Amino acid sequence: MAGIEVRIGHDIGSASAVPGLDRLSAAERSRLSFSVLSPSAPMSSAELAGAHLAIATPGYAAITAASLPADGPLTAILRTGVGYNDVDADALTARDIALVIPPEAVRRSTAVATVTLILAVTTHLIMRHRHSVTGPEGWVKVGQTPGMSLTGKTVGIVGLGNVGSEVARLLVPFDCRLIGCDPYIDPAHAAGLGVTLMPLDDLMRSADVVSLNLILNAETRHIIDASRLALMKSTAFLVNAARGPVVDQKALTDVLAARRIAGAGLDVLDLEPPRGDDPILQLDNVTISAHALNWTDEYRETLQRNIADMLKTLMAGKVPYKVANAAVLDRPGFKRKLAALAQSKPRRDT
């Protein structure tokens, strides 16, 4: 076939400025042709028709069964983040399409974002800023609300995958006790991180800071509900840099409004962007960022490398490092499409 057609999300770049493209050889670039997807939600099957690959950002456009062409050469959808709760992975498998995710792209940057939120809420950084810019009276108020040091405190990490494990590593210099909950992790891995594993309810009772670093699926949706929030110490903080719906946001809002816990740091919300009248936005004991705290130069650099690596691998007819819907790898239809990518020739316009 002459050339590989690639669709990219409108938020990622332009057809002439694709992240990571400069990491490919001239010969590899000559085999690729890019066009930009419109910001439709969910993604449109008409725009994916004829495409061999697509690159999309989690959260910008859901991918449902209706998003997928009934047939055609679409071989893989590459995500720029690890979350895929807005993707119908089973539908992709049924159409012989791989869902490729880049765990390394967000590991360090999201872990740093998590620790940033932990430090921001435990030191009352935003409140202190607000008081400090009001003049002498504000400076007096700043000294009336001491923060909480992490030294000797207990940080509970819910989810010890790539990001949660990196959070544990980053917290070591703070001399805090690390506890964790992850029923799927090897206990030896947790022990190597210095993390003591325990059931989630015990973690919620014990932690001075609860850090949520888990994927969103049917099992984890609202895993932090009113009953679990009620287990937390009144002096404890909740930090969520994972996905908004792992927390029952209404229950969290009620708990924060009643000062039942000390505060929360949220990079994610149930609805993004939130409505302007969302009650959680009115609270003074919550710090919120727009699901972008991990968007740093390091993230962009790692993302570019990941996109280039994924493209190189697929163009060679090989399976990328991380395929979320692993069942697709055994399907004859996927194998045929993957092999066809390796046989692609330079575009006719090169």
Active site positions, annotated: 243, 272, 291
Q: Which of 79, 88, 111, 116 is nearest to 242 (CA)?
A: 111
CA end-to-end distance (rounded Å), the chain: 14
Residue 234 CB coordination number (10 Å): 8
CB 82 within 8 A of CB 159: no
Q: Which residues pair with 6 in a beta bridge?
A: 34, 53
Across 154-186, b (16+ Cβ under 10 Å) vs e yields bbbbbbbbbbbbbbbeebeebebbbbbbbeebe
Q: Distance between alpha carbon 100 and the CA centroid of its chain, in Å?
A: 14
Decide: residue 135, CB within 10 A, 0-12 exposed, 13-18 middle, 19+ buried: exposed
Rounded alpha-carbon distances, angstroms, from residue 212 to 146, 242, 258, 268: 25, 6, 22, 11
